[in-house]
Structure 1
Amino acid sequence: MHYGTLCKANMAAACARSLGKVGWTIVQSPVLRRPGNGALLPGNTGSRVSRRSYFGGGKTGARSGLLWSLRGGGSRALSCAFLVGGGVGLYHTVKFYWDQQRHLAQEQAQAAPAGGPSLSASPSLTLYQYQTCPFCSKVRAFMDYHGLAYRVVEVNPVMRREIKWSTYRKVPILMVDEHLQLNDSSVIISSLKTYLVSKGSSMSDILRCYPELKSVNDSGKEVTEYSNKYWLMLSEDETAAVYPDKGMQKEEMKWRQWADDWLVHLISPNVYRSTSEALASFDYIVREGKFGALEGVFAKYIGAAAMFVIAKRLKSRHNLQDDVRQDLYKAVNDWVAAVGKKRKFMGGERPNLADLAVFGVLRVMEGLEAFDDMMANTKVKPWYRRMEAATRNHNDRS
């Protein structure tokens, strides 16, 4: 089947499912600074989703996490702190200006050719990210597992000068050969996987199958979603090779979306559950992220206080229990039950895209009390250790 025809057919089928979700709302919430579509513990949260009815028609949401929160409620608190420290702000403004000019000059020098970009045999991949963002972590897990070489550019979560050149203001952003920009963690993963399986297709053609859908949420803010982002754009033969058993594709898509729409929302309320945990989380964020010395002090103490308050609001928004650990435990055990006792991974002998997504989200909590509690009080540990080994050893090196 001609690729363009295949793309249109897949788009038509998936758009019917996507159009009903255009009204997603986004709420800024925290995630650890390693993150995935953009936050120190990401924070584009979505519409209210009941933990009891997620698969029963509950509305989908956007992402949540430590870094997201910094960009939302947390970032507003940090901005106030920088205004108070006027002298510090002036210094950083001048410094950031010159850094930005150098970055823009580099981007202009690497402009795409008139004929349009396509992925080369050995593409240059550059990931703009927050280290503790769960959506960024998802993308890294995918690329590590497949043995793809990539360069990381850590983005300052306050000024975000490293992505000033982009009209898309979230992370992750993946630049391919320095001129083709991929946005949204799930789009990045689906398009890269499609390219790896369908060797003859150009990345620019593949990206046309994931069109932007813009809408206005209940707060009057314009939000962007992407149609078909959980689909792989493959021919029938390629699809059969990737998903040999009936139901595998549907199962993978369901749990990938679950990771984005539900699991991510449990991270911030758990890592900011108490004042001590909030401080520990921001200590980790500052240590792993890209902050100046004074920025780090503001981020740790002002950010931790702000995120502690925001985490309480998120608990209410998502109908979480008073003990938010119980929601985390239930979600993780639901995942383990879905994998089952007879499979090493949801993908069978090897991880599939759902395995990589769930692993990427959960690992942003590593080193924090919430992670230790999860490992001790759920059945996830054997699966999680297998996923660590699979990504570390590049088990599906391309």
Structure 2
Amino acid sequence: MLTLYQFESCPFCWKVKALLHYAKIPYRIIEVNPMTSEELKPLGLKQVPVLVDDGEVIKESSVIVDYLNERYAKLPVTEDAAQWRTWVDQQLVFLLPPIIHKNFLTSWKTFGRVLRTSGFSPIKRCFVRLGGAVAMSRSAPKKAQARGISDAPAALQAAIRHWVDQGLAGRAFHGRDAPDLADLAVFAVLRATDGLVTIQLAEAASPGFAPWYAAMKTRTPSSASS
């Protein structure tokens, strides 16, 4: 069985999980401590996501998605979908951290939500939550500033309107009758923040977002083993 090393709120991990779920590919999860990455030490790696398939170790989300699609999912690969995937990796994903980690309190709440399903002990959850909130509330605003993001909520809403107007363009999905790799990429990074203010901002940005997002959630039930 495939094994995915991940952290629950990592949008790059969700890019992998969205395809696994949509294609109904069974896999097991190993939750990685984002403060120490101790679970990755046997592999000699430090960053998630990491996929292990019959001893083969694959890293970096886009590489993993391509591997899974070529070997298992076999969704159509188009130039337009590839461009949207690049847009997700180079623009959309960077609008989320300065919103969900804008200060210590916001980051504390974010980690509290995502750690509920981590399987960590109460003491470990508290350690990760505190350390994560301190680190992310410091780094997220600085990285946003370095990227020229001065108003992340407004930038996110503009990005959502761009996706709905140009990506969906009046269709149910970018892939028309069914989701394609573009739909899965956009959905995945937003799904990583499900239940947080980012989704509320997205829903307020365009009336076309909520039906698409709900449809994507319906089509991507977890295929992870318990």
SS at match of 2:42: coil
- How much does 1:290 deviate? 5.0
Partner Cα separation in structure 2 for residue 346 and residue 147 of structure 1? 20
- TM-aligned CA deviation for residue 392 of structure 1: 2.5
Q: 1:340 and 1:197, CA in 2 relative to 1: closer, same or farther beyond 3 A?
A: closer
Give CA deviations for 1:34-64 in whole Å, capped at 9, x if unaligned: xxxxxxxxxxxxxxxxxxxxxxxxxxxxxxx
Map of 2:24 onto structure 1: 147
Deviations 1:248-281 (A, max 9, x none): x111111111111111111100101244322211
Aligned equivalents of 1:196, 1:298: Cα separation in 2: 37
Question: 1:187 — aligned with what?
Answer: 63
Once the two structures are superposed, residues 211-269 of structure 1 have per-residue CA deviations (whole angstroms, 9 ceiling, x without a partner) of xxxxxxxxxxxxxxxxxxxxx9xxxxxxxxx36xxxxx111111111111111111100
Equivalent of 2:108 in 255, 269, 279 = 279
Question: Which of 355, 359, 369 pairs up with 2:187?
Answer: 359
Of all paired residues, the percent bearing the same amino acid is: 34
Instruction: Measure the CA separation in 1 of the matches of 2:119 and 2:73.
Output: 35
SS of the residue corresponding to residue 164 of structure 1 reads helix
Give TM-score scaled by structure 2 length: 0.88
TM-score using structure 1 length: 0.52
> Which residue, 265, 287, 293 being the options, matches 2:94?
265
1:376 offset after TM fit, Å? Answer: 2.8
In structure 1, the residue matched to 2:13 is 136
- Size of the alignment, in residue pairs? 222
What do the CA deviations read for 1:59-81 (whole angstroms, capped 9, x no partner)? xxxxxxxxxxxxxxxxxxxxxxx
Residue aligning to 1:28:
none
Cα deviation digits, residues 340-395 of structure 1 (max 9, x gap): 3442111111111111111110011112223223223334111111111121298x
Q: Quick one: distance in 1 between partners of 2:131 and 2:67? A: 38
Aligned to 2:83: 254
Gaps of 5+ in 2: none
Partner of 1:348: 176
Task: Judging by fraction of residues, say which structure has more helix.
Answer: 2
**Amino acid in structure 2 at the alignment position of 1:358:** V
Q: Secondary structure at the match of 1:360?
A: helix
Contact 1:359 1:387 in 2 (8 A): yes
1:300 is displaced (CA, Å) by: 2.8
Write the distance in 2 (CA, Å) between the matches of 1:366 and 1:144: 16
Q: Which amino acid aligns with 1:167?
A: G
Query: What secondary structure does 1:365 align onto?
Result: coil
Q: What residue identity is the alignment partner of 1:268?
A: P
The runs of at least 4 consecutive aligned structure 1 residues that moved more than 6 Å come to none
8 Å CA contact 2:111–2:129 kept in 1: the answer is yes
Distance 2:125 2:39 in 1: 17
Distance in 2, Cα, partners of 1:176 & 1:393: 18
Bigger relative contact order, structure 1 or 2 (CA pairs below 8 A, ≥6 apart): 2
1:339 paired with 2:216, answer no
1:162 maps to which residue? Answer: 39
2:136 corresponds to which letter in structure 1?
Answer: M
Go from structure 1 to structure 2 and tell me whether the alpha carbon gap of 1:160 and 1:340 turns closer, same or farther (over 3 Å shift).
closer
Deviates more, 1:372-381 or 1:126-135: 372-381
* Higher Rg: 1
Q: Is the contact made by 1:280 and 1:368 (CA closer than 8 Å) also made in structure 2? A: no
State the partner residue of 1:238.
Answer: none
> Aligned ranges for residues 1-398 of structure 1 at < 5 Å?
124-177=1-54, 179-196=55-72, 242=76, 249-289=78-118, 291-321=120-150, 323-379=151-207, 380-392=209-221
Structure 1 residue ranges without an equivalent (≥5)? 1-123, 199-231, 233-241, 244-248
Q: Is the 8 A contact 1:132 1:288 kept in 2?
A: no
